[in-house]
Structure 1
Amino acid sequence: MSKRTSDSKVKAPLSALAARRLRQQQQEQAESPNGASTPVAEAVSIHTKDTQTTAPTTPLKSRSPSAIPKDGIADASDADTPTPRQLSNFVQTGDNYVYNTQTSETVVKLRRGESLVIQGEYRVLVTSGGISICGAILETSASIDVIAPSTQALPVIECAPKSKKRKVDKAAARKDGEYDAIFTLRNTQSGLNDIGRICPRFDRIWKPPLTSTTVKSRASGSFTPILSATQVTPILTIPPSWQAPLTTLASPKQSPKVIFIIGGKSVGKSTFGRYLLNTLVTTNPQQSPVAYLDLDPGQPSFTPPCMLSLHKIASPVISPPFATFTSTEIVRQHHVGYISPREDPKYYLRCAADLMREYRRLTDEEGERMTLIVNTCGWIKGLGRELLQELVSVCEPTDIVGLGDVDGVFAEIIPGGGKSIKRHLLEAGGAGQAVGNTPGCQAFTPADLRMLQTIAYFHQCSNPDDNGPSFDFENHLTAIPPLLAAYKGPAKVIHGLTILDTTIQPDLFPTALNATIVSIKLINPTNTDHPTIQYLEDHDHETPYISANRFDGTSGMLPAEGTVTAGMAVVRGIDEENGELQLLTPMGDDEINGFLEDGWRVLVCRGRDEMPVYLMWDWRDGRVGRKNVNGRRGAGSGGEKMPYLDFVDGGEVTGKGAKEWKVRRNIMRRSQQRR
């Protein structure tokens, strides 16, 4: 199986605004005194596979727009060799990092105070002592799979804090001094390293920084230990002030707790929640699984965007959100159709309340004593503060953790002073920020990460061996046969179709649904109180279009109570004559047929989910950079067929989308006409 390299000429599509900025930037550089830009930095080493090779200093091309001098000329200081930043406090010797050719495993030994940062995918098995990673404490014989790309800060492996219960195998550890932790590393392959085949924007997320020093090894595989890097490379660390609250909240005393996390954007809410989750499931193995209520539809931790969800988690999770779809047991989820509660706060609250009722049912009816972690979105001002107040009333937390400047928020969202609620006000932490949030790194915006999460969701595949997540990026979605689901006739599979917050004529529904992301929702027909059941029975012989605000006036989505979101799908096409939808979904046909055999009613609901262009367009069919019939490089036949996209090839913007729009003046409002 061939793999693309980072030298591919294919670049991500640019917006028209970005294309104009690039042309302006090129013009400014052309007008500079020397006619060309000076190299931004010089490399001191290059990285190839698992070996670090010293090389003569050579210019590095800038990979970030922020690194390009505005005047086309670099400062004199840029010519100096940058100082490498230490990422791992680990000094390699002939004894503490050994590759076993027979078992294809690498044995690593740490002394207290040493740390090791590893990028890539790997399985770690502790053979002696204990280690900590992302809040998880792994004792002897414990193992875990780690997925660590550069889209998020890289996790750090350290010796676990001292414990009287933990013992070190001194016979195995004593050689050239005593080691406090010994573990093995093994290559793992989930398929995520091939995501660049579908979206070249994420082609380098598994590769270490270009100017990094790495541990020397004869092995070459799915992971790379990084010692230092000249390029800014964030690692996952937490503020020291977090440690005491994490210990207190993870204590089995006064359990189960309901821990409510609030804070603005990019203050570390998800990072704190992940650290707390991993601490709970590893330091108290005797207790029940941890429940995790994710109320952030814009940056969810375990689902595609636009979802609210409730999970049961029994083992630590050390993976980015786009790799965690099979890491938890989904108890219940709701597709709200927006990346923010701002668009429909009423429906958002109803979904959150329904998920909270499901948590109480698990704890009351099934007797599971699960601590609940509630992660909220970063909207804490205005209406967002009012939503937090409503959520506090719904969730009834025992503890509220506030990150950043939220001291004033506490006074407003806690009803009646909330003397029974423990408050934990912590400093904001940037530990969980994406690489793009750090100057000098490859820029990934929240929209980029949502795109990554959506693409990964639709390319996941079933794993019968249950050995962790599995993805397939060998074939594009457009090359995969879709599921055919009838929405008309006696053999119909889809019983209802609805569109978020939109009222349109029935004959326009196919156009509005085609080439969009939809949720697959289920309703139990025995739930006679559900308003959708009565509606479907009354309109059984009609086209199953359900207009917006049919039920409760909230977005036209189905009522949260009694509605189950089974998964997501892409409507690839619609056969109106035969009344069939062509669906692309990670859900198997046997799974959907199983719901039908059990009597569930299946409905398709379109929200405002962002459709990544790479889901519906295979850039490999029209490779940018190929020479056309005139011998010039251009977007090729594939690019010319994309009227809304433009491309950058060798500094030249090509494609139909590269041209600026011209405003036509023959049609205008009466107030705009000249008199």
Structure 2
Amino acid sequence: MSSGRLSAFAALNNSDSDHSDDDGIVGYTNDDDDLQVLEPLKLDLGLNQQQPQQPTPQQQQPIRHNPTIISNSKFKPTDDNIIYNDNYTIIGLKSMEYLMIRGQYELCIQRGAIKIDSITYHSNPNKFYKINASSLNSIPLIIATQVTSIDHTNDTKTKENEHLFHSDYKSVIKISNLFNGLESIGKLYPQLKNIYPNWSSNDDLLQQQQQQPMNEYEKLFFGYSFQLIINKSNYIATTILKTWQKQIDDLINQYLINLDTGKPFKVLIIGSKNSGKSTFLKLLLNELTTLVETLEIKVLDVDPGQTEYSNPDCISLSNHDSPIFGLYMPCESNSTKNEYIGFNTPQREPLNYIKKLKNLINELNEDSIVLINTPGWIKGFGIELLKEITNLITPTHLIYLTNNLTSNDETIENELLNNLKYDKLIKVQSFQLGNNNSTDIVKYSPAQIRNFKLLSYLHYDSNTKKYNFEPLISKSPLKISYFDSKMNTNDIINFNGICSISILDNGFNLNHLDIIECLECQIVAIISIELDEYLNLNEQLINSNLISMNENLPNLIKDSNILNDYPYDLLGLGLIHSVNTVENYINLYTPINMNSLKDKLETNSNKLVLIKGRSDLPIEEIMPRNILDLKNKNKENKKRKGKRTGDFDDCEVPYVSFSSNLGKGGKTSNIRRNIMRRAQQ
């Protein structure tokens, strides 16, 4: 490439980030991640100059059908078919009955067999299935089914459940409480207070009754970590289209053929947003992990905007050897390699995104079984991203979730598929709710789901395996020293703190004196670089004048892309509480294992660097409602009665000003929602 010419990716990478809505750039909006579909943008990364091979699509076009939506159990509780215990319930299911259960619980099959979504499981007293059925996604369906072989069953008959071992009942299951703190997220972030049953008081039960009336049997679930949905509700069960099941069965057969012939099995799933990509991938993943219990499936999650298997604002490669029912919590897994993107869209720094994607793909072996989850981006700039993905890893199967095709859609489809490399194309009917079905279904915005992912990550304790949603600012932060210009470069070897800081998308334009305002109350990635590599990096930064040093301030790397030239490990994310420029340390909250972090610091074999992206932090984290309520209560008591419950109203609250005096020339501003033109909707 000539020196006077920039690739489109490079041009985007160097563009002013404040003009993210310029023509030719396609991505999630800052407000709600709706896609803006503009003219296709032709990109040239020079990663692979080969022309894409001709696809071999199937001839049959999908037929559009509105799916049947299940919003409640097909089960009528009686005094005979359900047993209540302090910590669990036992339920007997008759033929064709099924359950929708919201919440977190462990399921054990005591008699016969059941289907969880599409997979059949037989009775086993030693087998427990952990299910996380939140309102953020569809709720798994538990169906009484026929035993495939009596040899597969290991029934558990006790005095408690013996009356359910009757010919009237086909299956008996035990559902146990699973409280891990996640159900309490609403105490910190009220917008998500109803994603799990969280009945800690009679007031909660009354409020739930007002929102959705419950019968006497449903009220008996008060105090459990789960709720049996008996009447029609505004929740939705996992919907498996008949065409999906057939295609999944065909893919399983194709995997077995590839296994015998030594061929790889790499499945890339694409489609527009809300077409069912994540659900289809999870169903296929569950079928594969059930087929062979020792089989390890890799999931490449490349959508930083709506992460399914990655930490917030990351893309990842995760290993799976067991099915996933309901919501997957990546912070609970130790078998995931994350790469920090720092934004909820690849658009911000596409070169950085592609580099991180290549790092993950390099972790794969030739015989790896890989399922790839992609953004809902199949037009314009999204085509270029998918093109680069298929250039880096040629999928054996390209799953395209699509609606009925009009003549206009065919043009778009050809533009999409003709630019991608793959061995076989399989068109699958996309999942779309009909207008009559979707009116009352509980829906959460992409921003709320991202906030759930971020808050659950920050409040997870890997030692106790629990979540604690007490506000972080009510706890003591971790204190870590940082390196500044007063220290000699040779001191780096013996320094066990933060050596430098990189700010994505803005390092060159940032005044070093403003770095504290840029860091406080912000999410950062914490990376570890081996000592020799960091010494080489530091030398390059100094020689190229790419590092800014200022007394008492952390060293600032001007060009964040230079870090991609050096290998490093992403330890995790953290929230900066404050920066002490007198004693040169940063107060930081992070769920990273402290022993692991301490070992890296004390041995001096690795050096720490912080990378700041543009992760959005919910205001509830820095200004929790209980603190605001207490301050307002004290203020009212002082005003009306001349009393107060404490001195809280006299102290300053971090990050927030309650003053109505905006200063000379100051004014309040209402943030305008990014309204798209009709042609872009």
Question: TM-score when scaled to structure 1?
Answer: 0.72
Aligned match of 1:183 in 150, 173, 177?
173
Distance in 2, matches of 1:108 and 1:313, equals 30
Deviation of 1:268 (Å): 1.4
Aligned match of 1:111 in 86, 94, 107?
94
Aligned match of 2:502 in 492, 498, 501?
498
Secondary structure of the 2:137 match is coil
Distance in 2, matches of 1:131 and 1:655, equals 61
Residues 455, 219 of structure 1: CA spacing in aligned structure 2 closer, same or farther, 3 A cutoff?
closer
Secondary structure of the 2:525 match is strand
Match of 2:305 in 1: 298
What is the identity, as a one-letter code, of the residue corresponding to 1:315? S
Give the alignment of 1:419-458 within 5 angstroms.
Answer: 421-430=423-432, 438-440=438-440, 444-458=444-458
Asked whether the 8 Å contact 1:302–1:325 carries over to 2, the reply is: no
Give deviations 1:66-95, integer Å, cap 9, x for gaps: xxxxxxxxxxxxxxxxxx986111233444
1:320 correspondence with 2:334: no
Match of 2:557 in 1: 547
Secondary structure of the 2:281 match is helix
Match of 2:401 in 1: 403
Residues 241, 585 of structure 1: CA spacing in aligned structure 2 closer, same or farther, 3 A cutoff?
same
Aligned match of 1:524 in 530, 554, 559?
530
Match of 1:479 in 2: 474
Match of 1:64 in 2: none
Distance in 2, matches of 1:536 and 1:247, equals 58
Give deviations 1:131-155, integer Å, cap 9, x for gaps: 2324554333232111222232222
Asked whether the 8 Å contact 2:352–2:561 carries over to 1, the reply is: no
Deviation of 1:212 (Å): 3.9
Deviation of 1:426 (Å): 1.3
Residues 179, 518 of structure 1: CA spacing in aligned structure 2 closer, same or farther, 3 A cutoff?
same
Aligned match of 2:251 in 249, 252, 258?
249
Asked whether the 8 Å contact 2:298–2:369 carries over to 1, the reply is: yes
Match of 2:138 in 1: 153
Give the alignment of 1:552-571 within 5 angstroms.
Answer: 558-559=563-564, 562-571=567-576
What is the identity, as a one-letter code, of the residue corresponding to 1:110? L
Give deviations 1:564-596, integer Å, cap 9, x for gaps: 211000010001122211110011332212233
Asked whether the 8 Å contact 1:266–1:430 carries over to 2, the reply is: yes
Asked whether the 8 Å contact 2:71–2:237 carries over to 1, the reply is: no
How many residues end up aligned between the 2 structures?
542
Secondary structure of the 2:332 match is coil
Match of 1:615 in 2: 621
Secondary structure of the 2:383 match is helix
Deviation of 1:522 (Å): 1.8
Aligned match of 1:140 in 119, 123, 137?
123
Secondary structure of the 2:331 match is coil
Identify unmatched segments of 5+ residues in structure 1. Answer: 1-16, 18-83, 364-368, 553-557, 647-653, 664-675
Give the alignment of 1:175-324 within 5 angstroms.
Answer: 175-207=165-197, 210-213=212-215, 215=218, 217=220, 220-229=223-232, 231-251=233-253, 252-253=255-256, 254-255=258-259, 256-286=264-294, 288-321=295-328, 323-324=329-330
Match of 1:574 in 2: 579
Match of 1:74 in 2: none
Distance in 1, matches of 2:221 and 2:568, equals 54
Residues 244, 471 of structure 1: CA spacing in aligned structure 2 closer, same or farther, 3 A cutoff?
same
1:603 correspondence with 2:609: yes
Secondary structure of the 1:325 match is helix
Asked whether the 8 Å contact 1:520–1:602 carries over to 2, the reply is: yes
Match of 1:10 in 2: none
Match of 2:672 in 1: none
Aligned match of 2:335 in 329, 335, 345?
329
Match of 2:373 in 1: 375
Asked whether the 8 Å contact 2:70–2:236 carries over to 1, the reply is: no
Match of 1:66 in 2: none
Deviation of 1:393 (Å): 1.1
Asked whether the 8 Å contact 1:187–1:222 carries over to 2, the reply is: yes
Asked whether the 8 Å contact 1:411–1:417 carries over to 2, the reply is: no
Distance in 2, matches of 1:235 and 1:645, equals 44
Secondary structure of the 2:390 match is helix
Match of 2:104 in 1: 121
Aligned match of 1:507 in 481, 502, 513?
513
Give the alignment of 1:4-83 within 5 angstroms.
Answer: none
What is the identity, as a one-letter code, of the residue corresponding to 2:478? L
Distance in 1, matches of 2:527 and 2:317, equals 16
Secondary structure of the 1:559 match is helix
Question: How high is the sequence identity, in percent, across the aligned residues?
Answer: 23
Secondary structure of the 2:360 match is helix
Distance in 2, matches of 1:192 and 1:326, equals 12
Secondary structure of the 1:205 match is coil
Residues 662, 463 of structure 1: CA spacing in aligned structure 2 closer, same or farther, 3 A cutoff?
closer
Give deviations 1:170-204, integer Å, cap 9, x for gaps: 89587442533322111111101211221122222
Distance in 2, matches of 1:282 and 1:379, equals 31
Deviation of 1:440 (Å): 3.5
Residues 511, 175 of structure 1: CA spacing in aligned structure 2 closer, same or farther, 3 A cutoff?
closer
Asked whether the 8 Å contact 1:132–1:158 carries over to 2, the reply is: yes
Give deviations 1:359-415, integer Å, cap 9, x for gaps: 23xx5xxxxx54211101112111111110110111211111111248666644557
Match of 1:45 in 2: none
Residues 541, 531 of structure 1: CA spacing in aligned structure 2 closer, same or farther, 3 A cutoff?
closer
Greater shift in the superposed pair: 564-573 or 139-148: 139-148
Deviation of 1:559 (Å): 0.6
Asked whether the 8 Å contact 2:502–2:560 carries over to 1, the reply is: no
Identify unmatched segments of 5+ residues in structure 2. Answer: 1-30, 32-68, 198-207, 404-408, 642-647, 670-681
Greater shift in the superposed pair: 370-379 or 175-184: 175-184
Residues 240, 560 of structure 1: CA spacing in aligned structure 2 closer, same or farther, 3 A cutoff?
farther
What is the identity, as a one-letter code, of the residue corresponding to 2:559? N
Match of 1:348 in 2: 353
Residues 136, 294 of structure 1: CA spacing in aligned structure 2 closer, same or farther, 3 A cutoff?
farther
Give deviations 1:205-261, integer Å, cap 9, x for gaps: 2236622445575874111111113x5222221222111112222344114411101
